[in-house]
A and B are shown apart, each in its own frame.
Chain A
């Protein structure tokens, strides 16, 4: 497991995935960027969840997947760090 990893590293990892797979190169993605502002659809949001699950070998429950937690890379990273790692 990766218990020592910091929330900012997790957030950066999520941003890296978004930049590489979900948006075109010129779109700026930072940990604080609201995911809704990136024009991501329902499927893309689930792609992010599945990436996090694969990357950190965990399964996010329904309770974890609130709108607040998946608002940005940062909020998702904070939740993962506090509750799961």
Chain B
């Protein structure tokens, strides 16, 4: 079915946050084997009816419109944008039949790229296992959607939003003067690159190693999750669990650096902030993210309590200074810049590095995700994009009242033994 040409935009301008993801897409391609691709897997008990799913997505003009978007080749000083291409082809769902032992089929699917200039920005793979188990894997270009938007889209597809409406697009931002934008951008630039000099970034991975991504899931029981919440309080986490989870990751990451003989001078982690209003489902399209930046030195890692304190203080200070908002303004200002120049501006003060590792906590958005297309959901997890430089990403999420994590890494960054060590250290920091 074709979308109504009158209703669906023929082009969609990228926001500053989307363009930043395009920058990351280039970074991922330069240092790895694929672009900035997010993945969300939903596992259900039973055999998901592929025809039913095909009907849902092909009868919905929204899915058809998303499927028809391609990124337009960038022209100097023109705003980057998605354009709608005409196609009468139905949206495909790639189907696989697998035996119980054949879990590595997911690993193979994780290696598939999405080229935003040539491919549809989203892809659906459906794996039917023997014994009535199905996994739906939704992959998307991060330039178009962030993890929250993708989650809403998938749940909408599976009629799993309790008939709540979704909001597709963000409302228009307030326009600011060019001078105001410059001022805000200058503030962010000074904060990120010049305060607390020197910025010394410790990385596990080798650059340009072009290794494939591997994933390792961390599961916590309900009892462990409750213990983690109790430990949050003991460690002095006053603003929810995220600072505690980040502190635990920093300690375990530092332990891993020591184990590998890397002398750590500072850990530098950008954290995405979800700017959506809570309680609703949207906006779906576009990255609604801003960033905070944490810089921790070895003396901040003496105890968990101290680390949590420092993270919370840095969080308050940055929000008081309006750094996340200024960073968003800076990203909007850089929209017209050619990517090569943007890349140089972002990376030159840090000698090409973007972070020590990437961290994200999507919170409790999956707490009530119980049904998908009428079948009980037994698991749902995000598989974050990961570049081989720095090559280490960890994301936390709650699923049905249980905390779970996903570590993305490359062989150049860590081997299986390192990941087992990291997990053991992390469990000790979180549950101990």
Which A residues are within 8 Å of any B CB, using their own CB? 21-24, 26-27, 36, 38-47, 49-50, 65-67, 70
Contacts and interface: CB of A to CB of B under 8 A. Distances in A.
A59 B7 CA distance: 49
A26 B280 CA distance: 8
A65 B238 CA distance: 7
A67 B238 contact: yes
B223 to A, nearest CB: 20
A70 B238 contact: yes
Contact of A41 (B238, B240, B279, B280): B240
Contact of B279 (A26, A65, A66): A26
A9 B320 CA distance: 24
B233 interface: yes
A46 B277 contact: no
Nearest to A44: B278
Interface residues of B, number: 23
Given A42-B240, A42-B243, A22 B278 contact: yes
A24 B277 CA distance: 6
A42 B315 contact: yes
Interface of B: 233, 238-243, 273-274, 277-280, 292, 315-316, 319-320, 324, 361, 363-365
Nearest to A67: B238
Q: Is the interface of B mostly helix, strand, loop or mixed?
A: mixed
B244 to A, nearest CB: 10
27 contacts: A21-B277, A23-B279, A26-B280, A27-B278, A27-B279, A38-B278, A38-B279, A39-B279, A39-B364, A39-B365, A40-B240, A41-B240, A41-B274, A42-B239, A42-B240, A42-B241, A42-B315, A43-B315, A43-B319, A45-B240, A46-B239, A46-B315, A46-B319, A49-B316, A50-B320, A65-B238, A70-B238
A72 to B, nearest CB: 14
A9 to B, nearest CB: 24
A71 to B, nearest CB: 11
A22 B242 CA distance: 18
A49 B317 CA distance: 12
Contacts of B365: 39
B291 to A, nearest CB: 11
